[in-house]
């Protein structure tokens, strides 16, 4: 019985999704909960290996159970066995060959910046506070350049081991507010077939650096035309502002 899970989590207490020696991770927390709930030692596979401190509202994972199980009851037990910063939103039976990572067609991330105002207390642990105020029109213009097929070699971590740095971005945009009327809250969303390590955070950090006058807009365009080098791009935005929103299949 192969089970697909949609998982939501606040990443502050975890060293990312993937299991690591002697560090708390979301993967290990879920595997421990499944073992206690079912008596089975399982390996849960995630669609996106979110970094330390990164959050998710639409992480997708899959695991196998030897026996058929009431998934409604299992979800309740798992949510009772995990900490309050992890929630199993849904469970469903899928085909035996379902692969949450390889079968994914698109991934969407959201980054939150609080700009030109005091810290926003209700989202301070899920946003990057930047001062002075940023030019939203400029950020939007930069975001539009990202759409399409580019070599993102300059926009990845120095230790990224991906064989190719070319990715196709289908959506890249900034907007103000989170729907509740908050002023100075800028949301960036990006969708792509796949991402490089730290790619979204480096793109956000570089766009902010352009808006602050630290990097020229023409230089940003040149790096997208690539291939550029990591040291030519801007800073890596903090992990706590990033959320994995959804994965499409």
Q: Give tens-digit pLDDT for 93-124.
A: 999 999 999 999 999 999 999 999 998 899 99
DSSP output for the chain:
-EEEEEEEE-GGGSS-SS-BTTB--HHHHHHHHHHHHHS-----EES--PPTT-EEEEEEEEEE-SS---HHHHHHHHHHHS-TTEEEEEEEEE-TT--TTTT--EEEEEEEEEESSS--GGGGGGSEEESS---HHHHHHHHHHHSEEEE-TTSS-TT---S--EEEEEEEEEEE--SS--TTEEEEEEEES---TTHHHHHHHHHHHHHTTSS-HHHHHHHHHS---GGGS-PPPPGGGEEEEEEE-
pTM: 0.95
Looking at the domain that runs over 2-94, which CATH code has it been given?
A: 3.30.70.580
| Nearest residue to 240 (alpha-carbon basis) of 128, 109, 107, 87 | 128
Query: Do 148 and 221 form a contact (C-beta atoms < 8 A)?
Result: no
Residues marked active site are found at 51
In the chain, CATH 3.30.70.580 sits at 2-94
The predicted-structure confidence for 4-55, as pLDDT tens digits, reads as follows 999 999 999 999 999 999 999 999 999 999 999 999 999 999 999 899 999 9
Share of the chain above pLDDT 90, in %: 90
Residue range(s) in the chain whose domain bears CATH number 3.30.70.660: 106-248
Give me the pLDDT at residue 163, please: 87
**CA–CA separation, 206 vs 175, rounded Å?**
17
Q: pLDDT confidence of 177, banded at 50, 70, 90?
A: confident
CATH topology classification for 106-248: Alpha-Beta Plaits (3.30.70)
Q: Name which of 116-120, 186-190, 229-233 the model is least confident about.
A: 116-120
């Amino acid at each position: 019985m192969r089970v697909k899970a949609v998982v939501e989590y606040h990443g502050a207490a975890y060293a990312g999704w993937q299991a690591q020696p002697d560090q708390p991770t979301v993967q290990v927390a879920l595997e421990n909960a499944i073992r206690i709930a079912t008596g089975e030692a399982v390996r849960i596979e995630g669609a996106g290996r979110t970094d330390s401190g990164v959050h998710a509202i639409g992480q997708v994972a899959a695991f196998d159970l030897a026996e058929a199980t009431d998934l409604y009851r299992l979800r309740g037990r798992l949510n009772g066995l995990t900490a309050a910063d992890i929630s199993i939103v849904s469970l469903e039976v899928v085909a035996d060959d379902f692969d949450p990572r390889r079968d994914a067609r698109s991934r969407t991330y959201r980054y939150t910046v609080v700009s030109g105002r005091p810290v926003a207390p209700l989202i301070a642990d899920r946003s990057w506070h930047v001062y002075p105020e940023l030019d939203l029109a400029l950020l939007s213009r930069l975001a539009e350049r990202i759409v399409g097929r580019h070599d993102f070699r300059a926009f990845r971590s120095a230790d990224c081991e991906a064989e190719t740095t070319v990715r196709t971005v289908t959506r890249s945009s900034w907007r103000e507010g989170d729907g509740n009327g908050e002023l100075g809250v800028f949301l960036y969303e990006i969708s792509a077939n796949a991402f490089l390590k730290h790619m979204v955070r480096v793109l956000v950090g570089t766009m902010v650096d352009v808006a602050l006058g630290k990097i020229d807009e023409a230089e940003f365009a040149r790096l997208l035309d690539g291939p550029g080098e990591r040291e030519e791009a801007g800073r890596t935005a903090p992990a706590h502002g990033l959320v994995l929103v959804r994965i499409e299949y």
